Structure formats: structure tokens, C-alpha cells
Amino acid sequence: MYQFTGSGLSGTIIVKFEDGRPNYKKQLEANTNEARTAFLQRVANESDEDALMVSWVRWIPDAPIPLQRLVAKYGPQEKAGFSDENYQPYREWERKGVSAYLSDDEKNVVRIDFAFTKDEQRKAWLKKYQFVPEWLKEEPAPAKKK
């Protein structure tokens, strides 16, 4: 994780990186699929610059922001509830990759987490590795009844 603050920057920005190499090395050890071996070797041995991927970006504004501003920008939230980690109220716009954590009165946003959507992740995998992993593939739409 990296944290950024300073003049010219409103609030604090935190960037969380993930390193998939340890997981890929475990998969490589257990791998029995010859076609997958070359890919696993490639990603297990990537440099820090190539292997580290942004998991999410958090913005903590200097002052709370009225929730209505996010609703005006992103539309009605898709999810609302309380965080499992600290019971803080939140609103989520999953299709946009935005989660807003609120004050106890649920009127102001005290932090916003930005994550990549599944569509953005699929595009990145296609660009970088020329395929989409199973866990990111789109689920088929349910059959329509006539």
C-alpha cells in the first residue's frame, strides 16, 4: 500500500497493490496441464513492475462530502448496508466500481473506494495476456421464458 498526501492534493489517496506471484508459483507446483505451464512460469517470474497490480484506490477527502453529490454523479446506488469490518454504513455502485463509506447519520461520505469493474479487468487481461481467466468470464444471461 502506498499513501499520498501533500499540497495540491485534496485529502489522502491510498493505492493498494497485489502481487499474484506467490499464488502463481503454488499453482505452477500443482499444475498438471502442459498448456498452462508456460503461462504460469511467465507470471510467476514477472518483475515487480509487471507483476504488481492495483487492487483498489481509496480517497479520503479533507472534509466529508454530501452523499447527494455522489448520487448526482453516479445515479442511485446499487447496494446499501453496513461494512462487515466495522459496521460503517456504505453505498455501492458496483457497475461503476465505486464504494462510498458514510458518516453515522448516513448523510456524508467520509471515504471512497474505487475498484476495477469485471469488464475493466477482462479488458486488462486480454491486453496483457491475450485471454480471460475463468473467474473473470461473463456469466451467461439466463434463458428468457416465452
Question: 454523479: which residue's cell?
Answer: 73
Residue 9 three-state SS: coil
Provide DSSP, 48-108.
HHHHEEEEEEEEE-SS-EEHHHHHHHH-S-SEEEE-TTT--EEEEEGGGTEEEEE-TTSSE
Residue 143: its pLDDT value, please?
67
Q: pLDDT confidence of 146, banded at 50, 70, 90?
A: low
Percentage of residues in the chain having pLDDT higher than 70 = 96
pLDDT (tens digit per residue) in 57-109: 999 999 999 999 999 999 999 999 999 999 999 999 999 999 999 999 999 99
